[in-house]
């Protein structure tokens, strides 16, 4: 895919060769075999880039540095390029020659130019020339890309991709040297037309090796000479990409732009142009402008005069934090709770904390003069994206599929530098990503680990745990109003609207057992809400206590006292501990338990979650016989267990299921056992997995 997104492969209408699932392992091994040896032979090359302006200085060489590396940069003010054919492309894809313009004028024309039937000459602005060493294998792959007929199409694309990624990373690594040179020139000349550059300003580089040019495109946006399009990779039937419609633009043209939106749009553009410091300034300004505008609007809707609204804003002029709190109080909306996403690094993001660090960065940029360098693209993308989400929340702008579609497309046109690099005393070296195969995890595995960590690591994050649990159960929830400082009673965190069910969700997180005082506060808040919103509201308490103990050491049966459970039942409050709920969620994921049955538990009064809806309690574990891998279970009076049943046991961190293959009573093999009795059950569990007194179940559904 990268080969096409970087514009290397021609669109010849041929589809990519599909790889059969049975051949995946073989293809992966082939991909590993095709990896370039980044510590292989290196040869001298010329690395050239044209600036978008002139450096008004005689041709010369200047020594510039970055970190440990010191290099020589050649300044060429009289270079020209020659393109093949009768059309000039912005992408410079048809350039065959770059060199001194005087040689072309004098008739000393290189052979590669004389071969061109319709050459196009163009004088260039200042060209900067570096003389690094490059990996010979990467050069050979690029130069032999058309001649090598022994490779299948997929493998050829893969190899060209890697060559291109190498040269992209090498060129990108030289941008700091370029900016060092430009800054030194600006400092001595005060030239107002020169500026620091990013990959947006210098998107096309060239490497020259033995008279052969290698074109290097750092940003796919500038690789496109035709109108941007979409479609199946390798197919000729592609369609133009339209980011919006005539109707939407016409509507917007007839309205005043929302306060702060222009600053936000500037932030997006500045980010993609690599002007990260300016992007941060504009993004924070967008939030501040939007917040003030929305607060004034709300105050006027509540009957405040212009003078009263201005006076209230004046009170928070020196404290952005106080203004946010005032907005939450007036609007009765708190800044969004943790974001739930299928993308691990987005999952759990809180816009309030994101705003905090972005504002601190803005302060450093504005008041301390720090420069955000070009290697901070990932960090800056996060800053701009989260501030965009916050702005749209403040302005009540809804996301739709078109937003995600546009976001994906535009970011694809920005591109990414794939390979890392080192600056050493002997030069710039491209290197592999340093990770072990065991550390590579899928998105699902990373999110699973995030979920477990919410309550298993300190500090706990019960709010995120609750939202992830409800999301897994397909229960929509909305953020509850903010917890106001002058509100004496306990406040809920979320509201649930599920068909006929309406419920307040309390995330109770403390280092003690739930007591009657706390549950009484929950009951008071529930009663107050029902009186104002209607009697059909219930309450759900997600309880995370005993935080000083690891999950495997926490009390299970006795973790909610009987008197607390009694109050909850009488007041229509559901109680479930975070460990109980997490085990239900994991059971539904691993053993395909009925999610609807688990959902229903969350709307039943009293304590829930001790027994999964898929299980029936039959007894308790007594002891383990390691020499025979047999567990002894005391069956409750009247309970029946038989060979072929699915046994269930609650372990410290998960439920365990196993098909019963043999039963024994007094060392005699039986097919069925009826309590009360002690029965031996063959198991694959180890000795240290089960505690004495552990409840034993059989699966009923």
Question: Helix/strand/coil (H, E, C) string of 458-472?
Answer: CCCCHHHHHHHHHHH
Instruction: Check whether the bond before 459 is cis (ω within 30° of 0).
Output: yes
What's the pLDDT at 13?
40
> What angle, 0 to 180 degrees and rounded to 10, lies between the N-to-C axes of helices 462-472 and 578-591?
30
Two structure tokens written together for 127: 């060209």
Extract the residue ranges of the chain whose pLDDT is less than 50. 1-17
Q: Is the dihedral of CA 242, 248, 250, 256 positive or negative?
A: negative
What's the pLDDT at 531?
86
509: three-class secondary structure by DSSP: strand
What's the pLDDT at 667?
86
Nearest to 430 by CA among 134, 686, 78, 118: 134
Nearest to 471 by CA among 608, 342, 600, 614: 342
Indicate the pTM of the whole model: 0.85
What's the pLDDT at 295?
95
* pLDDT tens by residue, 276-289: 999 999 999 999 99
- Residues 19 and 12: their CA atoms lie apart, in Å, by 20
- Residues 393 and 280: their CA atoms lie apart, in Å, by 18
- Residues 27 and 694: their CA atoms lie apart, in Å, by 48
Helix (H) or strand (E) run with residue 314 in it: helix 306-315
Two structure tokens written together for 656: 């365990």
For strands 477-479 and 42-44, give the pairing.
unpaired
Task: Tell the residue number behind the tokens 């898929």, with chain if given.
Answer: 614
What's the pLDDT at 144?
82
Q: Output b/e per residue, 200-225; b: 16+ Cβ within 10 A.
A: bbbbbbbbbbeeebbbbbbbbbbbbe
What's the pLDDT at 15?
43
């Amino acid at each position: 895919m990268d080969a096409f997104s970087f514009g290397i492969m021609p669109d010849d209408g041929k589809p990519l060769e599909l790889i059969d699932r049975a051949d995946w392992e073989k293809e992966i091994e082939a991909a590993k075999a095709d990896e370039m040896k980044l510590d292989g032979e290196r040869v001298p090359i010329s690395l050239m880039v044209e600036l978008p302006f002139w450096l008004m200085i005689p041709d010369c060489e200047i020594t510039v540095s970055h970190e440990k590396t010191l290099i020589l940069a050649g300044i060429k003010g009289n270079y020209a390029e020659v393109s093949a054919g009768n059309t000039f492309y912005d992408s410079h894809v048809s350039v065959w020659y770059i060199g001194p313009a005087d040689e072309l004028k004098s008739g000393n024309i290189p052979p590669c130019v004389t071969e061109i039937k319709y050459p196009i000459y163009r004088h260039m602005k200042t060209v900067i020339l570096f003389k690094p060493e490059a990996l010979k294998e990467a050069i050979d792959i690029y130069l032999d890309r058309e001649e090598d007929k022994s490779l299948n199409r997929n493998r050829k694309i893969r190899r060209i991709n890697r060559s291109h990624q190498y040269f992209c990373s090498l060129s990108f690594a030289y941008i700091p040297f370029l900016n060092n040179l430009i800054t030194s020139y600006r400092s001595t000349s005060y030239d107002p037309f020169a500026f620091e550059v990013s990959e947006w300003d210098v998107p096309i580089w060239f490497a020259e090796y033995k008279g052969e040019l290698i074109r290097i495109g750092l940003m796919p946006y500038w690789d496109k000479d035709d109108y941007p399009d979409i479609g199946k990779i390798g197919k000729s039937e592609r369609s133009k990409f339209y980011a919006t419609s005539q109707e939407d633009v016409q509507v917007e043209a007839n309205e005043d732009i929302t306060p702060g939106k222009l600053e936000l749009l500037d932030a997006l553009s500045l980010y993609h142009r690599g002007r990260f410091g300016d992007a941060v300034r504009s993004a924070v300004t967008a939030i501040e402008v939007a917040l003030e505008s929305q607060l004034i609007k709300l105050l006027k809707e509540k009957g405040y005069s212009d003078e009263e609204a201005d006076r209230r804003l004046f009170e928070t002029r020196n404290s952005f934090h106080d203004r946010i709190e005032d907005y939450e109080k007036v609007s009765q909306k708190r800044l969004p709770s943790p974001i739930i996403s299928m993308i691990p690094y987005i999952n759990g993001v809180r816009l309030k904390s994101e705003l905090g660090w972005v504002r601190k960065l803005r302060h450093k940029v504005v008041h301390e003069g720090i420069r955000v360098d070009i290697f901070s693209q990932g960090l800056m993308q996060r800053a701009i994206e989260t501030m965009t989400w916050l702005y749209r929340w403040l302005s009540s702008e809804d996301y739709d599929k078109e937003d995600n579609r546009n976001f994906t497309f535009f970011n694809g046109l920005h591109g990414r530098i794939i390979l890392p690099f080192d600056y050493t005393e002997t030069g710039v070296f491209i290197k592999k990503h340093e990770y072990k195969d065991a550390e590579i995890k899928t998105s699902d595995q990373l999110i699973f680990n995030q979920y477990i960590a919410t309550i298993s690591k300190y500090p706990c994050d019960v709010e995120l745990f609750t939202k992830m649990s409800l999301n897994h159960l397909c229960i929509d929830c909305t953020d509850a109003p903010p917890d106001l400082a002058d509100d004496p009673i306990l406040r809920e965190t979320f509201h649930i609207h599920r068909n006929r069910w309406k419920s307040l969700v309390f995330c109770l997180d403390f280092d003690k057992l739930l007591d009657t005082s706390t549950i009484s506060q929950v009951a008071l808040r529930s009663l107050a809400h029902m009186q104002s919103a209607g009697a059909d509201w219930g309450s759900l308490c997600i309880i995370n206590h005993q935080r000083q103990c690891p999950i495997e050491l926490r009390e299970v049966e006795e973790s909610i006292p009987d008197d607390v459970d009694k109050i909850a039942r009488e007041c229509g409050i559901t109680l479930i501990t975070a460990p109980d709920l997490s085990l239900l969620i994991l059971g539904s994921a691993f053993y395909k338990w009925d999610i609807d049955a688990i959902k229903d538990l969350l709307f039943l009064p009293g304590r829930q979650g001790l027994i999964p809806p898929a299980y029936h309690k039959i007894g308790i574990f007594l002891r383990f016989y390691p020499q025979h891998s047999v567990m002894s279970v005391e069956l409750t009076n009247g309970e029946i267990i038989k060979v072929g049943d699915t046994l269930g046991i609650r372990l410290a961190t998960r439920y365990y299921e196993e098909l019963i293959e043999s039963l024994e009573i007094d060392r005699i093999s039986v097919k069925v056992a009826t309590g009360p009795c002690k029965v031996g059950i063959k198991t694959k569990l180890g000795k240290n997995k089960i505690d004495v007194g552990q409840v034993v179940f059989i699966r009923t559904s």
